[in-house]
Chains A and B, each alone.
Chain A
Amino acid sequence: MGFVEFYNASDSFIWDKFREGNPNAFEIIYERHIGVLANYGKRMCEDPEMVKDAIQDMFVDLWKSRNNLNKTDSIKFYLLKAYRRNLIKKIIAAKKIQSHSSEGEIYNGGFTLSHELSIIHAEMEQAKINQLNQQLEELPPRQKEALFLRFYGGLNCTEISEFMEISHQSVLNMVYRALETLRKTMGFKAFLLLSVWGYLV
């Protein structure tokens, strides 16, 4: 089966072919997801080599274990999840070497969104854009990650909750909270998120 057959094929079809060991399916999976993986990785981790190494390890593991993989309808979700695990393992390992810290140290998350918003609305002043960027960067890492997964990665709430191992409601809260912070700067009319805020207080 050549490249063309996969063109409009669904994720589950490509995934099944990949599990059967089809190398073209493997390449299509790589080509289609390298973008989102790179974008996610570069925000999780500052070291570009580590970002790449984790991608490489993840794909090699995936290929080697192709016979034992489960079915999936969203390859992107599957890869991001596997990639996150791999990357965090590497980040923790690197931290241990750096600080000679003990086994018990837990990765407490890190996610960078700096100077992301460059071209927003033409009518917006640069000063405001800078302010927004700063606020975005100052959000707690988990909020930034959820925001990114939703708005860049296109994952839905259920996927994000499974991905970050938090409840559905916590995802909503995190995203709403992040948006509320940004909204204040944007000067929009008041959010009507009282029902959500109720859970937070």
Chain B
Amino acid sequence: MDFEKYELGDFIMDESFHKWVKNPSTEDGEFWEGYLKNHPDQQADVEEAKKIIQMISFQDKSFNKEEVSKLWDEIQMEAKHGKSMDSNKFNPWKLLKVAAVLVPFIIAAVLFVFYRQATEPQPKLAHQIIEKTIPRGQKLTVFLSDGSKVILNSESSIKYAKPFGKNQRIVELEGEAFFHVTPDKARPFVVKTVTMKTKVVGTSFNIKAYSTDNTISVAVRSGQVLVEDISQKSSEKPPKSMMLSHSEMATYSLETHEISVSGYDPKEVLGWSDGTLYFDGAHMDEFISKIERWYGVEVQVKRKETIKKGIVGEFHDQSLEEILMGIHESCEFDYEIHGDKVIIK
């Protein structure tokens, strides 16, 4: 393009010029800054064009968050409802006939798709999706592209894009992880679990969201985080959300969809991230599920009476044998360890 013939109006209408004025730290920026140095005669036009572009910044009249999510619910409901209307005219015989005709085609189509996938290279994306999964008995520390640190607990996985997107840093989590997030006001850090979304700017916090548990908990160590219920909400109500400050913990019940906020014991909730296994009056079930994950073992309880006494203890980098030895007397149980199987008697 012939920028030397550009006049004020041309600069204003030029897309790349526009981008530079709105956001100087882009590739367009480098070009325009270089260009300006070499064309001082156009300086006046450029300055004026910049002023006008900056002047015309319209007010943001977006919907608020509740409106946005309510509208989305309505759209989804109507989109789905439309589908179910068709199935009202359900006729099994007709379906069978249709199926008899369609089956060979479906098989052919499936074969074709598989054939194509095998022969054609997959389209490449500009980013890379990274998925880390940790089995029982192990932990992993991951550093993300923005410098944030994630400690992943046993039997957990995270998924994220590398590099992150322009507007948000999204991580999907299943299981438990401790996050230490590098501050970046322009790009909130969002952790998505099955039913909950946790949004922060820069802070450290722990999320526990195992699919086998019936609660999800978010415990904040420093800074502030916003948690939001993103499960199927009713269309009348806005999504439940809550702002948490340091030393607060939100617990979300998957049954009642209620969020409750309380304080928490840092040793009990966060201890795992520096290798401390801590019990403060834990029930047997809780104790068992923790050590199963921690040591990658399977625990069987072979006794009739339940162990009522709460388990108390703090163990730092100790073996399973040492832990069981330490507590079996006070809790009155016997145990055997056979490889990765533990029997409590």
Contacts and interface: CB of A to CB of B under 8 A. Distances in A.
Interface string B6-23: 011100110100100000
B218 interface: no
Interface in A146-162: 147-148, 150-152, 154, 156-157
B336 interface: no
Given A38-B61, A193-B7, A2 B159 contact: yes
B64 to A, nearest CB: 10
A43 interface: yes
Contacts of A59: 75, 79
Given A8-B127, A151-B56, A189 B48 contact: yes
B60 interface: yes
Interface string B33-74: 000000000001100100111111111111100011001101
B159 A117 contact: no
Interface in A110-136: 113, 115-121, 132
A6 B129 CA distance: 10
B249 interface: no
Interface string A15-28: 00000000000010
A35 interface: yes
Contact of B53 (A151, A156, A157): A151
A39 B9 contact: no
Interface residues of B, number: 48
A13 B53 contact: no
A55 to B, nearest CB: 6
Nearest to A36: B62
A120 B126 contact: no
Nearest to A196: B9
Nearest to B75: A59
B298 interface: no
Interface in B124-145: 125-127, 129
B339 interface: no
A199 interface: no
Interface of A: 2-5, 7-10, 13, 27, 30, 34-35, 38-39, 42-43, 52, 55-56, 59-60, 63-64, 113, 115-121, 132, 147-148, 150-152, 154, 156-157, 172, 175-176, 179, 182-183, 186, 188-189, 191-193, 196
Top 6 closest pairs, chain A to chain B, by CB: A8-B127, A7-B161, A7-B165, A63-B79, A152-B58, A59-B75
Interface of B: 7-9, 12-13, 15, 18, 44-45, 48, 51-63, 67-68, 71-72, 74-75, 78-79, 82, 123, 125-127, 129, 159-161, 163-166, 170-172, 192
